[in-house]
Amino acid sequence: MTASVKTLLEALPYIRDFHGRTVVIKYGGAAMGDEELREGFATDVVLLKYVGLNPVIVHGGGPDITSYMERLGMEVRFVEGVRVSDPETVEVAKMVLLGKVNSDIVSRLNRHGQPAVGLSGEDGSLFEVRPHPNADQVGFVGEVERVDVDVLNHIAEDYIPVVASAGTDRDGNSYNVNADAAAGKVAAALRAYKAIFLTDVPGWLADADDPGSLVSRATASEVAAALDRVSGGMRPKLEACIEAIGGGAQSAHIIDGSKPHSLLLELFTDAGIGTMVTP
Ligand code: ADP
Ligand code: MG
Protein backbone atom coordinates (compact mmCIF):
# COMPACT_ATOMS: atom_id res chain seq x y z
CA MET A 1 0.00 0.00 0.00
CA THR A 2 1.34 3.43 -0.84
CA ALA A 3 1.80 5.92 1.97
CA SER A 4 -0.93 8.20 0.64
CA VAL A 5 -3.52 5.40 0.52
CA LYS A 6 -2.57 4.46 4.06
CA THR A 7 -3.06 8.05 5.17
CA LEU A 8 -6.50 8.21 3.57
CA LEU A 9 -7.59 4.95 5.18
CA GLU A 10 -6.27 6.13 8.53
CA ALA A 11 -8.45 9.24 8.18
CA LEU A 12 -11.66 7.36 7.38
CA PRO A 13 -12.81 6.50 10.94
CA TYR A 14 -12.11 10.09 12.01
CA ILE A 15 -14.08 11.50 9.10
CA ARG A 16 -17.00 9.23 9.98
CA ASP A 17 -16.84 10.19 13.65
CA PHE A 18 -16.62 13.93 12.96
CA HIS A 19 -19.40 14.18 10.41
CA GLY A 20 -21.78 17.00 11.33
CA ARG A 21 -19.80 17.89 14.47
CA THR A 22 -18.86 21.41 15.48
CA VAL A 23 -15.19 22.20 16.00
CA VAL A 24 -14.15 25.57 17.40
CA ILE A 25 -10.69 26.58 16.22
CA LYS A 26 -8.77 29.36 17.91
CA TYR A 27 -6.38 30.93 15.46
CA GLY A 28 -3.80 33.53 16.24
CA GLY A 29 -0.25 34.59 16.76
CA ALA A 30 2.30 32.27 15.29
CA ALA A 31 -0.02 30.31 13.03
CA MET A 32 -0.63 33.58 11.19
CA GLY A 33 3.10 34.17 10.96
CA ASP A 34 3.69 33.95 7.25
CA GLU A 35 1.90 33.67 3.95
CA GLU A 36 2.43 29.92 3.63
CA LEU A 37 0.97 29.22 7.08
CA ARG A 38 -2.03 31.48 6.41
CA GLU A 39 -2.76 29.69 3.15
CA GLY A 40 -2.22 26.30 4.79
CA PHE A 41 -4.66 27.16 7.57
CA ALA A 42 -7.31 28.27 5.07
CA THR A 43 -7.01 25.11 2.97
CA ASP A 44 -7.19 22.93 6.11
CA VAL A 45 -10.37 24.63 7.34
CA VAL A 46 -11.96 24.43 3.90
CA LEU A 47 -11.17 20.71 3.81
CA LEU A 48 -12.85 20.24 7.21
CA LYS A 49 -16.02 21.83 5.88
CA TYR A 50 -15.94 19.68 2.73
CA VAL A 51 -15.66 16.46 4.73
CA GLY A 52 -18.70 17.41 6.78
CA LEU A 53 -17.39 19.11 9.92
CA ASN A 54 -18.76 22.40 11.07
CA PRO A 55 -15.71 24.60 11.75
CA VAL A 56 -16.09 27.86 13.68
CA ILE A 57 -13.03 30.13 13.78
CA VAL A 58 -12.28 32.50 16.66
CA HIS A 59 -9.20 34.64 16.20
CA GLY A 60 -6.99 37.20 17.83
CA GLY A 61 -4.27 39.20 16.17
CA GLY A 62 -1.93 40.46 18.86
CA PRO A 63 1.21 40.83 16.73
CA ASP A 64 -0.68 42.80 14.03
CA ILE A 65 -2.25 45.07 16.66
CA THR A 66 1.18 45.73 18.17
CA SER A 67 2.76 46.52 14.81
CA TYR A 68 -0.02 48.97 13.86
CA MET A 69 0.19 50.66 17.26
CA GLU A 70 3.92 51.07 16.76
CA ARG A 71 3.38 52.52 13.29
CA LEU A 72 0.99 55.04 14.84
CA GLY A 73 3.56 55.89 17.52
CA MET A 74 1.40 54.51 20.34
CA GLU A 75 2.83 53.01 23.52
CA VAL A 76 2.43 49.21 23.75
CA ARG A 77 2.24 47.88 27.30
CA PHE A 78 1.30 44.56 28.90
CA VAL A 79 0.46 43.77 32.54
CA GLU A 80 0.69 40.03 33.28
CA GLY A 81 0.26 39.17 29.62
CA VAL A 82 -2.77 41.44 29.18
CA ARG A 83 -2.56 44.40 26.80
CA VAL A 84 -3.09 47.71 28.58
CA SER A 85 -5.99 49.16 26.61
CA ASP A 86 -7.03 52.80 26.71
CA PRO A 87 -9.91 53.77 24.40
CA GLU A 88 -7.47 54.63 21.57
CA THR A 89 -5.84 51.19 21.86
CA VAL A 90 -9.22 49.48 21.70
CA GLU A 91 -10.08 51.54 18.63
CA VAL A 92 -6.90 50.46 16.83
CA ALA A 93 -7.26 46.86 18.01
CA LYS A 94 -10.79 46.72 16.61
CA MET A 95 -9.77 48.27 13.33
CA VAL A 96 -6.89 45.84 12.89
CA LEU A 97 -8.81 42.76 14.05
CA LEU A 98 -11.85 43.37 11.88
CA GLY A 99 -10.50 45.42 9.01
CA LYS A 100 -7.37 43.42 8.44
CA VAL A 101 -7.03 40.08 10.23
CA ASN A 102 -10.69 39.02 9.98
CA SER A 103 -11.12 40.10 6.40
CA ASP A 104 -7.89 38.35 5.40
CA ILE A 105 -9.10 35.03 6.88
CA VAL A 106 -12.54 35.41 5.29
CA SER A 107 -11.18 36.19 1.85
CA ARG A 108 -8.78 33.24 1.94
CA LEU A 109 -11.56 30.81 2.89
CA ASN A 110 -13.74 32.26 0.14
CA ARG A 111 -10.94 31.92 -2.36
CA HIS A 112 -10.37 28.25 -1.47
CA GLY A 113 -13.99 27.44 -2.13
CA GLN A 114 -15.90 27.72 1.15
CA PRO A 115 -17.74 30.99 1.69
CA ALA A 116 -17.08 32.49 5.11
CA VAL A 117 -18.70 35.31 7.09
CA GLY A 118 -16.70 37.56 9.40
CA LEU A 119 -18.18 38.99 12.57
CA SER A 120 -17.16 40.31 15.97
CA GLY A 121 -18.73 40.12 19.39
CA GLU A 122 -21.08 42.96 18.54
CA ASP A 123 -22.71 41.28 15.58
CA GLY A 124 -26.01 39.69 16.48
CA SER A 125 -25.13 40.44 20.14
CA LEU A 126 -22.76 37.49 20.03
CA PHE A 127 -20.77 38.46 23.15
CA GLU A 128 -21.75 40.51 26.14
CA VAL A 129 -18.58 41.69 27.80
CA ARG A 130 -17.80 42.89 31.31
CA PRO A 131 -14.61 44.63 32.44
CA HIS A 132 -11.57 42.52 33.38
CA PRO A 133 -10.99 42.14 37.16
CA ASN A 134 -7.80 44.26 36.78
CA ALA A 135 -9.65 46.99 34.87
CA ASP A 136 -8.00 49.72 36.93
CA GLN A 137 -4.61 48.57 35.59
CA VAL A 138 -5.42 47.30 32.11
CA GLY A 139 -8.29 49.57 31.05
CA PHE A 140 -10.79 48.41 28.46
CA VAL A 141 -10.02 44.71 28.55
CA GLY A 142 -13.14 42.62 28.72
CA GLU A 143 -14.23 39.17 29.72
CA VAL A 144 -17.00 37.45 27.84
CA GLU A 145 -19.91 37.26 30.24
CA ARG A 146 -22.50 35.75 27.93
CA VAL A 147 -22.49 34.25 24.42
CA ASP A 148 -25.60 34.29 22.28
CA VAL A 149 -24.90 31.63 19.68
CA ASP A 150 -28.04 32.26 17.67
CA VAL A 151 -26.19 34.29 15.06
CA LEU A 152 -23.43 31.66 14.80
CA ASN A 153 -25.89 28.84 14.30
CA HIS A 154 -27.59 30.76 11.52
CA ILE A 155 -24.33 31.56 9.75
CA ALA A 156 -22.87 28.07 10.23
CA GLU A 157 -25.71 26.50 8.29
CA ASP A 158 -24.22 27.82 5.07
CA TYR A 159 -20.97 29.60 5.86
CA ILE A 160 -17.88 29.28 7.99
CA PRO A 161 -18.21 31.83 10.82
CA VAL A 162 -15.00 33.77 11.54
CA VAL A 163 -15.21 35.60 14.87
CA ALA A 164 -12.91 38.48 15.87
CA SER A 165 -12.43 38.66 19.64
CA ALA A 166 -13.82 42.11 20.42
CA GLY A 167 -17.05 43.05 22.11
CA THR A 168 -19.08 45.65 23.94
CA ASP A 169 -20.70 45.92 27.35
CA ARG A 170 -24.32 46.82 28.06
CA ASP A 171 -23.49 50.52 27.84
CA GLY A 172 -21.87 50.18 24.43
CA ASN A 173 -18.23 50.55 25.53
CA SER A 174 -15.82 48.55 23.36
CA TYR A 175 -13.31 46.10 24.84
CA ASN A 176 -10.33 44.02 23.89
CA VAL A 177 -11.04 40.37 24.64
CA ASN A 178 -8.50 37.54 24.87
CA ALA A 179 -9.19 35.28 21.90
CA ASP A 180 -8.52 32.05 23.81
CA ALA A 181 -11.08 33.00 26.44
CA ALA A 182 -13.57 33.96 23.74
CA ALA A 183 -12.99 30.65 21.91
CA GLY A 184 -13.54 28.65 25.10
CA LYS A 185 -16.82 30.45 25.75
CA VAL A 186 -17.96 29.97 22.16
CA ALA A 187 -17.08 26.25 22.28
CA ALA A 188 -19.05 25.81 25.50
CA ALA A 189 -22.04 27.80 24.25
CA LEU A 190 -22.15 25.86 20.97
CA ARG A 191 -21.63 22.58 22.84
CA ALA A 192 -18.80 21.93 20.39
CA TYR A 193 -17.42 18.45 19.94
CA LYS A 194 -13.84 19.72 20.03
CA ALA A 195 -11.95 22.94 20.64
CA ILE A 196 -8.51 23.36 19.10
CA PHE A 197 -6.10 26.14 20.04
CA LEU A 198 -3.31 26.86 17.55
CA THR A 199 -0.25 28.47 19.09
CA ASP A 200 3.51 28.83 18.67
CA VAL A 201 4.72 26.13 21.09
CA PRO A 202 4.26 22.33 20.90
CA GLY A 203 1.55 22.49 23.58
CA TRP A 204 1.38 22.96 27.34
CA LEU A 205 4.86 22.50 28.77
CA ALA A 206 5.19 21.37 32.40
CA ASP A 207 8.27 23.62 32.48
CA ALA A 208 7.78 26.61 30.16
CA ASP A 209 11.53 26.74 29.45
CA ASP A 210 11.89 23.05 28.59
CA PRO A 211 10.52 22.12 25.14
CA GLY A 212 10.92 18.46 26.15
CA SER A 213 8.37 18.75 28.97
CA LEU A 214 5.20 18.56 26.85
CA VAL A 215 2.11 17.40 28.72
CA SER A 216 0.47 15.30 26.04
CA ARG A 217 -2.67 14.41 27.98
CA ALA A 218 -4.45 15.77 31.04
CA THR A 219 -7.96 15.80 32.44
CA ALA A 220 -9.75 19.09 32.99
CA SER A 221 -9.42 18.68 36.76
CA GLU A 222 -5.68 18.00 36.47
CA VAL A 223 -5.36 21.19 34.42
CA ALA A 224 -7.43 23.13 36.97
CA ALA A 225 -5.17 21.93 39.77
CA ALA A 226 -2.05 23.08 37.90
CA LEU A 227 -3.42 26.45 36.76
CA ASP A 228 -1.88 28.52 39.57
CA ARG A 229 1.58 27.56 38.30
CA VAL A 230 0.90 28.57 34.69
CA SER A 231 1.52 32.08 33.45
CA GLY A 232 1.68 34.12 30.28
CA GLY A 233 -0.29 33.23 27.17
CA MET A 234 -0.67 29.56 28.12
CA ARG A 235 -2.93 30.28 31.06
CA PRO A 236 -5.97 31.59 29.14
CA LYS A 237 -5.59 28.62 26.75
CA LEU A 238 -5.75 26.09 29.58
CA GLU A 239 -8.67 27.96 31.17
CA ALA A 240 -10.41 27.89 27.80
CA CYS A 241 -9.83 24.13 27.49
CA ILE A 242 -11.49 23.64 30.89
CA GLU A 243 -14.36 25.88 29.77
CA ALA A 244 -14.86 23.90 26.54
CA ILE A 245 -14.83 20.57 28.39
CA GLY A 246 -17.26 21.98 30.95
CA GLY A 247 -19.56 22.82 28.05
CA GLY A 248 -19.54 19.22 26.89
CA ALA A 249 -16.59 19.01 24.49
CA GLN A 250 -15.16 15.54 24.10
CA SER A 251 -11.64 16.97 24.00
CA ALA A 252 -9.74 20.24 23.78
CA HIS A 253 -6.32 20.50 22.14
CA ILE A 254 -3.41 22.92 22.20
CA ILE A 255 -1.24 22.39 19.12
CA ASP A 256 1.67 24.02 17.35
CA GLY A 257 0.24 26.18 14.60
CA SER A 258 3.69 27.12 13.36
CA LYS A 259 3.94 23.61 11.88
CA PRO A 260 2.13 23.45 8.53
CA HIS A 261 -1.18 21.52 8.54
CA SER A 262 -1.02 20.70 12.26
CA LEU A 263 -4.82 20.96 12.28
CA LEU A 264 -5.22 18.08 9.81
CA LEU A 265 -2.63 15.97 11.61
CA GLU A 266 -4.46 16.45 14.88
CA LEU A 267 -7.90 15.66 13.51
CA PHE A 268 -7.29 12.91 10.97
CA THR A 269 -4.27 10.89 12.01
CA ASP A 270 -3.44 8.55 14.88
CA ALA A 271 -0.39 10.61 15.77
CA GLY A 272 -1.13 12.50 18.97
CA ILE A 273 0.29 15.98 18.71
CA GLY A 274 0.26 18.76 21.27
CA THR A 275 -1.73 18.68 24.51
CA MET A 276 -5.09 16.94 24.73
CA VAL A 277 -7.43 17.86 27.58
CA THR A 278 -10.25 15.43 28.31
CA PRO A 279 -13.19 15.41 30.76
P1 ADP B 1 -1.15 32.92 21.05
O2 ADP B 1 -1.12 33.89 19.93
O3 ADP B 1 -1.09 31.51 20.55
O4 ADP B 1 -2.30 33.14 22.01
P5 ADP B 1 0.51 33.59 23.35
O6 ADP B 1 1.85 34.24 23.31
O7 ADP B 1 -0.61 34.34 23.93
O8 ADP B 1 0.22 33.12 21.85
O9 ADP B 1 0.62 32.20 24.15
C10 ADP B 1 1.60 31.23 23.87
C11 ADP B 1 2.86 31.46 24.72
O12 ADP B 1 2.65 31.07 26.08
C13 ADP B 1 4.06 30.65 24.33
O14 ADP B 1 4.76 31.20 23.25
C15 ADP B 1 4.91 30.65 25.62
O16 ADP B 1 5.87 31.68 25.57
C17 ADP B 1 3.92 31.01 26.71
N18 ADP B 1 3.90 30.08 27.83
C19 ADP B 1 3.90 30.43 29.13
N20 ADP B 1 3.86 29.34 29.93
C21 ADP B 1 3.86 28.26 29.12
C22 ADP B 1 3.84 26.84 29.35
N23 ADP B 1 3.81 26.30 30.59
N24 ADP B 1 3.83 26.01 28.27
C25 ADP B 1 3.86 26.52 27.02
N26 ADP B 1 3.89 27.85 26.73
C27 ADP B 1 3.90 28.72 27.76
MG1 MG C 1 -2.62 34.66 23.45
Residue 8 CB contacts under 8 Å (≥ 6 apart), including other chains:
none
182 lines ligand 1 (CB under 6 A): no
Number of the ligand closest to the Cα of 28: 1
Candidates 187, 189, 188, 208; CA nearest to 199 is 208
How many angstroms does the Cα of residue 63 sit away from the middle of ligand 2? 10
205 lines ligand 1 (CB under 6 A): yes
How many angstroms does the Cα of residue 72 sit away from the middle of ligand 1? 27
231 lines ligand 1 (CB under 6 A): yes
> What is the pTM assigned to this prediction?
0.96
Candidates 193, 198, 186; CA nearest to 266 is 198
Q: Phi and psi at residue 248, in whole multiples of 5°?
A: 110, 5
63 lines ligand 1 (CB under 6 A): no
230 lines ligand 1 (CB under 6 A): yes
pLDDT at 30: 73
Number of the ligand closest to the Cα of 202: 1
Q: Counting atoms of ligand 1 from 1, which one is nearest the CA of 179?
A: 4
Residue 81 CB contacts under 8 Å (≥ 6 apart), including other chains:
231, 232, 233, 235, 236
Q: Counting atoms of ligand 1 from 1, which one is nearest the CA of 206?
A: 23
Taking CA atoms, 41 is separated from 34, 120, 138, 149, 201, in Å, by 11, 20, 32, 24, 16
Instruction: From first to last of the 279 residues of the chain, give the pLDDT tens digit.
Output: 788 899 899 999 999 999 999 999 999 877 888 999 999 999 999 999 999 999 999 999 989 999 999 999 999 998 877 899 999 999 999 999 999 999 999 999 999 999 999 999 999 999 999 998 888 999 999 999 999 999 999 999 999 999 999 999 999 999 999 999 999 999 999 999 999 999 999 999 999 999 899 999 999 999 999 999 998 889 999 999 999 999 999 999 999 999 999 999 999 998 879 999 999
How many angstroms does the Cα of residue 127 sit away from the middle of ligand 2? 19
Q: Where do the H-state alpha helices sit in 171-219?
A: 179-190
Alpha-carbon distance of 123 to 53, in angstroms, equals 23
pLDDT at 270: 87
Number of the ligand closest to the Cα of 203: 1
Candidates 273, 205, 212; CA nearest to 238 is 205
